[in-house]
Structure 1
Amino acid sequence: MDVSYLYTPQFLNDVLNLMTCIEIPIHLLGVYCILFKTPESMKSVKWTMLNLLIWSVILDLGVSVLTSPFLLFPTFSGYPLGVLKHIGVPTAYQTYGIVMVYAMVGTSILTLFENRFYLMFARYHSWRNYRGKFLFVNYFLASCFFLPAYFSIPEQSEALQKVFKVLPQLPDVILNAPLFVLATDLGLVLLSVLFMAVLLCIENMIFVILLWAKMKIRTRRMSTSQYTLNLQKKFLRAIYIQVSTPFLILITPLSYTFFSVVFSYYNQAFNNMCSIFFALHGIISTLTFLLIHKSYRKVCIGLFTFSVFRKPKTLSNVVVPSGRVCTENLPSSKSKVKTLIFVFNQKMRV
């Protein structure tokens, strides 16, 4: 049975490999900017932003390089094409790891919002005594929420027969692959994912609302200078855009997944596009924060215009015989030497 290139594992593998070549330099630039180009006004969130970036990078590389999942919606089945498959890592472990990393990304976003709330409004509040436990519980849940679904993975031979009944016209290139079925009854999988997704959404929204309400009160009372308030508002706005943009990208594959499962619709080209969209999350997240924050955006512009590699020139003031001040663009070391020689000669003439 001949199939179009868009329907094949080769298409998915080729696109993900191309994305990897693009995303690795962008992620490295993001790490460099956070570590070495973070301004003083953002030092307080430097490590929480780095934490979010690291988990986004792990997710990005996990989908595009390590696992490269070839999905078969509307069934919860498929098989990996990535590096972990070639070194013998079981597909069940790979599945659990990717799902866990998605939860870790959501938890790192929560950490970013909580850190901002704590530094701005709760540093001297009783919340400081509970925040460590709160974050520990969330990271713990993110690491183990999928265990019930993992321990309910069905016996594969029987599960595959059910998959073949739902998808009877699979081409040979898929039938001959090492297919893996995560679940035949989607109830436990959906419950586990929904539990973590709803929990993180509620917690993140609570901190967003608290930040908005506290900022409103601070603005009304004018308890902070207008300059500081504007900086805080601008930074919060940038964080909101940074966090929301990648998730807007995920709306498309998630919507299709829901439609496919509910209506038992199978289209392998669309399934491949879903995997590609899932892999886009990390690179979109990194690009957004590089472009939305002014200090990082300057570094990016400097790289593309090559101005970041140019040696800065300093202005040196030279006193000329007429008493006027002349400003010359000279390299800093030569400028100092020439200025000293010129002043010395003028004094000797006098």
Structure 2
Amino acid sequence: MHLEHPDTLITILHLITLLAIPIHVFGTYCILFKTPKSMESVKLIMLNFHVWCMVLDYGITVLTVPYLLFPVLGGFPLGILKDIGVPIEVQSYGILTLVAVVSAAAIDIIENRYYIVFAQNTKWRRYRIILTIFNYSCSLAWTLPAFILLPDQNTAAPGALRILEKFGTVPEYIRKAPIFVISFDLRTITLPCMIIAGFFVVEVVVFVVVMTRGMSKLKQTARFSKSTLKMQRNFLNAIYIQVSVYITSIQLPIFWFIVSILADVHFQAINNLGFVMFSFNGVVSTVIMIWIHRPYRDFCLKIVKLNKLSNNAVHVDSGGTIHSVAPRVTSNAY
């Protein structure tokens, strides 16, 4: 199996789906039923982020399975939506939009914590909804310039093949594929991408700086006890870690995609590997969420301990003596 082949990509992404489903379900259960009252204010916001991460994961690994052809701004889908006849431009718009929506949902978590701890009695309570509407509106609109200016696909697909031919022989499975090209003009996609990414980065930095300074000021007041301050600080650190993991898992593949486009290089195996990393975003984010938030971690460890106890069976002999029975160990011969 070669990583550059479409069948390999499909197999890997479907295996990731099988791994992701139980992890996502467990994460959803933790948020819905194991979130303590002390975290109630962030429960729906965390669920919102978690759900959008799941939608993005399944959108990539099952629904679309994008096979991208960087440095060409195009590719073709291999997922279920292709089989049921959903237009490629609709699939492309959906995935690109979902990436931005998940980013907006991550910002919601940080903003919510700022509001709860620092801004409930300030003017921010009237403006925060405007920021949320702005972020999600930008998420829906940032790709519109590219899709409004789509090239004629009858000539775009041959043009994409000519670009790929510079890097060697183009496999037959690519030549016969329904290649969809978003644009040959980098500005129509990269400029809006840089603008929305800039907005999101500035928002995250501002909230982090303001909250860091706010926590320092709270230490000098009697508003919270030391234990409450410690809890708030730990919760903020947990949120920072969760959002940072998401940003890293998204940014590393995007960094390669940008390098491939700007440097005009084509390595299909790395293109596919980038999307494999991309599709792990929701799984990694969920695992990190379960581990860094103590209520979820404790619940998970409790399940593990109960499982261990259930394996330590006991046997009562005819004389009434209780004997511990060690778990049966089986070995595989090679």
Q: TM-score, normalising length from structure 1?
A: 0.84
Please give the alpha-carbon distance, in whole angstroms, between the structure 2 residues aligned to 1:129 and 1:49. Answer: 22
Partner of 1:107: 104
Please give the alpha-carbon distance, in whole angstroms, between the structure 2 residues aligned to 1:174 and 1:230. Answer: 56
The answer to whether structure 1 residue 159 and structure 2 residue 156 are counterparts is yes
| Segment of structure 1 superposing worse, 279-288 or 126-135 | 126-135
Q: How does 1:331-342 map to 2 (within 5 A)?
A: none
- The one-letter code sitting in structure 2 at the alignment partner of 1:118 is Y
Q: How does 1:28-67 map to 2 (within 5 A)?
A: 28-67=25-64
**Structure 1 runs not aligned, ≥5 long:** 311-350
- The one-letter code sitting in structure 1 at the alignment partner of 2:245 is T
Report deviation, 1:116: 0.9
Whether the 8 Å CA contact 2:74–2:183 is kept in 1: the answer is yes
Q: How does 1:143-292 map to 2 (within 5 A)?
A: 143-168=140-165, 169-292=169-292
Partner of 1:77: 74
1:64 aligns to what SS in structure 2? helix
Question: Which of the residues 4, 20, 36 maps onto 1:7?
Answer: 4
Deviations 1:64-115 (A, max 9, x none): 1111100111111110111111111111001111111111111111111111
- The one-letter code sitting in structure 2 at the alignment partner of 1:271 is N
Whether the 8 Å CA contact 2:161–2:175 is kept in 1: the answer is no
Q: In 2 relative to 1, CA 110–309 (structure 1 residues): closer, same or farther, beyond 3 Å?
A: farther
- The one-letter code sitting in structure 2 at the alignment partner of 1:225 is S
- The one-letter code sitting in structure 1 at the alignment partner of 2:134 is V
Whether the 8 Å CA contact 1:299–1:308 is kept in 2: the answer is no
Please give the alpha-carbon distance, in whole angstroms, between the structure 1 residues aligned to 2:239 and 2:226. Answer: 20
Please give the alpha-carbon distance, in whole angstroms, between the structure 1 residues aligned to 2:173 and 2:306. Answer: 47
Whether the 8 Å CA contact 2:101–2:139 is kept in 1: the answer is yes
Please give the alpha-carbon distance, in whole angstroms, between the structure 2 residues aligned to 1:13 and 1:303. Answer: 33
Number of equivalent positions: 307
**Structure 2 runs not aligned, ≥5 long:** 311-334
Please give the alpha-carbon distance, in whole angstroms, between the structure 2 residues aligned to 1:193 and 1:53. Answer: 23
% same residue: 38
The runs of at least 4 aligned residues of structure 1 exceeding 4 Å deviation read: 307-310
Q: In 2 relative to 1, CA 255–139 (structure 1 residues): closer, same or farther, beyond 3 Å?
A: closer
Please give the alpha-carbon distance, in whole angstroms, between the structure 2 residues aligned to 1:177 and 1:127. Answer: 51
1:140 aligns to what SS in structure 2? helix
Partner of 2:88: 91
Greater CA radius of gyration, 1 or 2?
A: 1
Q: TM-score, normalising length from structure 2?
A: 0.88
